Structure 1
Amino acid sequence: MMDQSGYLPEAGFFSFVAGSCTNAGLLDAASTLLTKGSRLGCCIEPYAYNYLLNSLIAHGRAQDAVALFESWIQDGLYSPDVWSFNVVIKGVCRMGNFQKALELVERMTEFGCSPDTITHNILVDGLCRAKQVNKGHEVLRRLQRDGVCMPNAVTYTSVISGYCKAGKMEDAMSVYNDMLESGTRPNTVTYNVLINGYGKALDMESAVRMYRQLILRHCPPDVVTFSSLIDGYCRCGQLDDAKRIWKEMGLHHIQPNVYTFSIIIHSLCKQNRSAEALDILRELNMRTDIAPQTFIYNPVIDILCKGGKVDEANLIVTDMKEKGCHPDKYTYTILIIGHCMKGRIPEAITLFHKMVEAGCRPDNITVNSFVSCVLKAGMPNEVDQIMLIASGHGLASQKVSSQQSRRLDISVAV
Structure 2
Amino acid sequence: MTAAAAAATGSSSPSPSPSSPPDPSAAVTSLMHPRLHALLCLYLPHHHRPLVRLLHSSSPPPPQPPSSYAELWISKALAAAALLRPERLPVFRSLEPPPSPLAAAAAVRLAPCASSALAVFAALHSPPLCITPSAQSYQQIIVVMCRSGRQGDALQLFDQMTTHYGYSPDTRFLSFLVNSCTCANLLDAAATLLSKASEFGCRVEAYAYNKLMSLLIGRGRVNDAVALFERWIQGKVYSPDVWSFNVVIKGVCRVGYVQKALELVERMNEFGCSPDTVTHNILVDGLCRINEVSRGHEVLKRLQRDGVCMPNVVTFTSVISGYCKAGRMEDAMSVYSDMVASGTMPNVVTYNVLINGYGKVGDMGSAVEVYRQMVLRHCPPDVVTFSSLIDGYCRCGQLDDALRIWNEMNQHHIRPNVYTFSIIIHTLCKQNRSKEAIGLLNELNMRPDIAPQAFIYNPVIDVLCKCGNVDEANFIRKGMVEKGCRPDKYTYTILIIGYCMKSRIADAIMCFQEMVEAGCYPDNITVNCFISCLLKAGMPNEVDNVMRLASGGASSIKEVPSPTGSLMIHEQYMSIVLA
- CA distance in 2 between counterparts of 1:220 and 1:289 reads 22
Indicate how the Cα distance of structure 1 residues 343 and 6 shifts in structure 2: closer, same or farther if over 3 A, else same: same
Indicate how the Cα distance of structure 1 residues 329 and 393 shifts in structure 2: closer, same or farther if over 3 A, else same: closer
Partner of residue 513 from structure 2, selected from 353, 356, 368: 353
- CA distance in 2 between counterparts of 1:300 and 1:363 reads 22
The equivalent of 2:232 in structure 1 is 72
Over residues 318-343 of structure 1, what are the superposed CA-to-partner deviations in whole Å (9 max), with x where a residue is unaligned? 11111111111111111111112222
The equivalent of 2:216 in structure 1 is 56
Partner of residue 269 from structure 2, selected from 102, 105, 109: 109
Q: Per the alignment, in what secondary structure is the counterpart of residue 340 of structure 1? A: helix
- CA distance in 2 between counterparts of 1:96 and 1:370 reads 41
The equivalent of 2:398 in structure 1 is 238
Over residues 69-107 of structure 1, what are the superposed CA-to-partner deviations in whole Å (9 max), with x where a residue is unaligned? 111111111111111111111122123222221221121
Amino acid of the structure 2 residue aligned with 1:279: G
Partner of residue 202 from structure 1, selected from 349, 362, 377: 362
The equivalent of 2:469 in structure 1 is 309
- CA distance in 1 between counterparts of 2:271 and 2:526 reads 62
The equivalent of 2:448 in structure 1 is 288
The equivalent of 1:142 in structure 2 is 302
- CA distance in 2 between counterparts of 1:396 and 1:336 reads 19
The equivalent of 2:373 in structure 1 is 213
**Does structure 2 conserve the Cα–Cα contact (< 8 Å) formed by 1:354 and 1:396?**
no
- CA distance in 2 between counterparts of 1:234 and 1:351 reads 33
- CA distance in 2 between counterparts of 1:323 and 1:300 reads 16
- CA distance in 2 between counterparts of 1:38 and 1:222 reads 50
- CA distance in 2 between counterparts of 1:92 and 1:379 reads 56
Indicate how the Cα distance of structure 1 residues 336 and 138 shifts in structure 2: closer, same or farther if over 3 A, else same: same
Q: State whether structure 2 residue 413 is matched by structure 1 residue 260.
A: no
**Does structure 1 conserve the Cα–Cα contact (< 8 Å) formed by 2:285 and 2:318?**
yes
Over residues 229-280 of structure 1, what are the superposed CA-to-partner deviations in whole Å (9 max), with x where a residue is unaligned? 1110110111111111111112222121111111111111011110110011
Over residues 332-365 of structure 1, what are the superposed CA-to-partner deviations in whole Å (9 max), with x where a residue is unaligned? 1111111122222111111111222333333444
The equivalent of 1:181 in structure 2 is 341
CA RMSD across the alignment: 1.7
1:220 deviates by 1.8
- CA distance in 2 between counterparts of 1:11 and 1:344 reads 74
**Does structure 2 conserve the Cα–Cα contact (< 8 Å) formed by 1:92 and 1:101?**
yes
Amino acid of the structure 1 residue aligned with 2:182: T
Partner of residue 22 from structure 1, selected from 156, 176, 182: 182
Residue range with higher mean Cα deviation, 54-63 or 150-159: 54-63
- CA distance in 1 between counterparts of 2:555 and 2:378 reads 60
Count of aligned pairs between the two proteins: 400
Q: Per the alignment, in what secondary structure is the counterpart of residue 38 of structure 1? A: coil
**Does structure 1 conserve the Cα–Cα contact (< 8 Å) formed by 2:242 and 2:274?**
yes
Q: Larger Cα Rg: Structure 1 or Structure 2? A: 2
**Does structure 2 conserve the Cα–Cα contact (< 8 Å) formed by 1:121 and 1:155?**
yes
Indicate how the Cα distance of structure 1 residues 51 and 393 shifts in structure 2: closer, same or farther if over 3 A, else same: closer
1:381 deviates by 2.5
- CA distance in 1 between counterparts of 2:409 and 2:456 reads 20
- CA distance in 2 between counterparts of 1:267 and 1:71 reads 54
Partner of residue 556 from structure 2, selected from 385, 397, 403: 397
Residue range with higher mean Cα deviation, 360-369 or 103-112: 360-369
Amino acid of the structure 2 residue aligned with 1:397: S
**Does structure 2 conserve the Cα–Cα contact (< 8 Å) formed by 1:356 and 1:396?**
no
Over residues 15-53 of structure 1, what are the superposed CA-to-partner deviations in whole Å (9 max), with x where a residue is unaligned? 222122222211111111212223312111111111111
- CA distance in 1 between counterparts of 2:548 and 2:212 reads 52
Indicate how the Cα distance of structure 1 residues 396 and 134 shifts in structure 2: closer, same or farther if over 3 A, else same: farther
Q: Per the alignment, in what secondary structure is the counterpart of residue 218 of structure 1? A: coil
**Does structure 1 conserve the Cα–Cα contact (< 8 Å) formed by 2:169 and 2:200?**
no
1:314 deviates by 1.2
* Shift >4 Å, 4+ stretches: 4-7
1:137 deviates by 0.7
Residue range with higher mean Cα deviation, 100-109 or 63-72: 100-109
- CA distance in 2 between counterparts of 1:395 and 1:7 reads 63
**Does structure 1 conserve the Cα–Cα contact (< 8 Å) formed by 2:319 and 2:335?**
yes
**Does structure 1 conserve the Cα–Cα contact (< 8 Å) formed by 2:383 and 2:417?**
yes
1:7 deviates by 4.3
Amino acid of the structure 2 residue aligned with 1:280: L
Q: Per the alignment, in what secondary structure is the counterpart of residue 331 of structure 1? A: helix
Structure 1 residues not aligned, in runs of 5+: 402-414
Partner of residue 300 from structure 1, selected from 439, 455, 460: 460
Partner of residue 241 from structure 2, selected from 71, 81, 102: 81
- CA distance in 1 between counterparts of 2:559 and 2:544 reads 12
What TM-score, normalized by structure 1, do the two folds share?
A: 0.92
The equivalent of 1:164 in structure 2 is 324
- CA distance in 2 between counterparts of 1:11 and 1:305 reads 68
Q: State whether structure 2 residue 200 is matched by structure 1 residue 44.
A: no
Q: Per the alignment, in what secondary structure is the counterpart of residue 39 of structure 1? A: coil
- CA distance in 2 between counterparts of 1:57 and 1:380 reads 53
Partner of residue 386 from structure 2, selected from 190, 206, 226: 226
The equivalent of 2:24 in structure 1 is none
- CA distance in 1 between counterparts of 2:260 and 2:534 reads 60
- CA distance in 2 between counterparts of 1:165 and 1:151 reads 21
- CA distance in 2 between counterparts of 1:254 and 1:144 reads 37
Residue range with higher mean Cα deviation, 244-253 or 377-386: 377-386
- CA distance in 2 between counterparts of 1:63 and 1:141 reads 31
- CA distance in 2 between counterparts of 1:250 and 1:16 reads 50
The equivalent of 1:92 in structure 2 is 252
1:368 deviates by 3.8
1:142 deviates by 0.7
The equivalent of 2:83 in structure 1 is none
- CA distance in 1 between counterparts of 2:238 and 2:533 reads 70
**Does structure 1 conserve the Cα–Cα contact (< 8 Å) formed by 2:545 and 2:559?**
no
Amino acid of the structure 1 residue aligned with 2:367: A
Amino acid of the structure 2 residue aligned with 1:22: T
